[in-house]
């Protein structure tokens, strides 16, 4: 039994309403997947659930016709990731894994020890879409424009916990805050390879909504810290206890 291809589209999904595909998706379905007109494709847009569609058109100009909804729309956990951009391939890894692990939004944050001040939001969006298509997500995380850390903190809602992954020896395990985090929106902040500056650490620890947590006795690379922190949050208060969705074959 062959796996049914799955695509994201920003267009509305309505029974019988044809969806014109851009050239890259047309190529993917007809040349990479080698699908013929009439083949089934699963499609989602983050709003209308997932639909089983029928492929039509030509390899250069393919389209999809929604036939029936296969899954209703559901929302993932209300978790955001804030991270300091690092080298290109490793930043790509962060965006991909954050999407796989269910974050609702991704916020690049410039810090004093940032390794780069170049951020390509369009690339992050493409990576997030690809990761969502492959992992059965029903939505795409929002990719926010990069901001400096002081601006992010000055605009932060006080009732929204910010989990600060701190390398200091007196930071507590995330489990200490499980009651405060349960069923509440939260965000995780990961610094650059050089960590946060003393000034930034002092600023963060002075704020009531910030929860300093430890990721263990070892100093982790930034991308490892992202995966570790998101995994801890998901295991404590996330949606990992829900039944997995088994795609059609």
Q: pLDDT digit of tens for each residue in the chain (249 aa)? A: 348 999 999 999 999 999 999 999 999 999 999 999 999 999 999 999 999 999 999 888 899 999 999 999 988 899 999 999 998 899 999 999 999 999 999 999 999 999 888 899 999 999 999 999 999 999 999 999 999 999 999 999 988 999 999 987 688 999 999 888 887 889 999 999 889 999 999 999 999 999 999 999 898 999 999 999 999 999 999 888 776 665 655
- The answer to whether the beta carbons of residues 143 and 92 sit under 8 Å apart is no
Q: Pick left, alpha or beta for residue 27 (phi over 0 → left; psi -120 to 50 → alpha; otherwise beta).
A: alpha
Q: Which residue, among 121, 184, 111, 194, has the nearest Cα to 153 in the 3D structure?
A: 111
- Contact present, 142 and 128 (Cβ < 8 Å): no
pLDDT score of 117? 83
- Predicted structure pTM score: 0.91
Q: What pLDDT is attached to residue 190? A: 97
- What domains sit in the chain, N to C, each tagged with a CATH number? 6-71 (2.40.240.20), 79-237 (3.40.1280.10)
pLDDT at site 2: 47
């Amino acid at each position: 039994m062959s796996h049914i291809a799955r695509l994201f589209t920003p267009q509305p999904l309505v029974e019988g309403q044809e969806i014109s595909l851009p050239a890259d998706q047309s190529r993917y379905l007809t040349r990479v997947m080698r699908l013929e007109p009439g083949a089934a494709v699963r499609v989602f847009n983050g709003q209308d659930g997932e639909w089983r569609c029928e492929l039509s058109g030509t390899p250069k100009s393919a389209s999809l016709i929604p036939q029936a909804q296969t899954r209703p729309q559901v929302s993932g956990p209300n978790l955001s990731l804030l991270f300091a951009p690092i080298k290109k391939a490793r930043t790509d890894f962060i965006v991909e894994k954050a999407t796989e692990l269910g974050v609702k939004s991704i916020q690049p944050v410039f810090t004093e020890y940032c390794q780069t001040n170049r951020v390509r939001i369009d690339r992050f969006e493409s990576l997030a879409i690809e990761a969502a298509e492959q992992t059965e997500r029903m939505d795409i995380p929002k990719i926010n424009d990069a901001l400096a850390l002081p601006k992010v903190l000055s605009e932060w809602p006080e009732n929204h916990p910010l989990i600060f992954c701190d390398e200091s020896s007196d930071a507590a395990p995330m489990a200490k805050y499980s009651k405060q985090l349960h069923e509440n929106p939260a965000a995780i902040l990961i610094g650059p390879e050089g960590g946060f500056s003393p000034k930034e650490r002092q600023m963060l620890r002075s704020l009531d909504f910030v929860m300093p947590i430890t990721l263990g006795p070892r100093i982790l690379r930034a991308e490892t810290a992202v995966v570790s922190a998101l995994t801890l949050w998901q295991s404590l208060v996330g949606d990992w206890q829900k039944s997995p969705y088994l795609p059609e074959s």
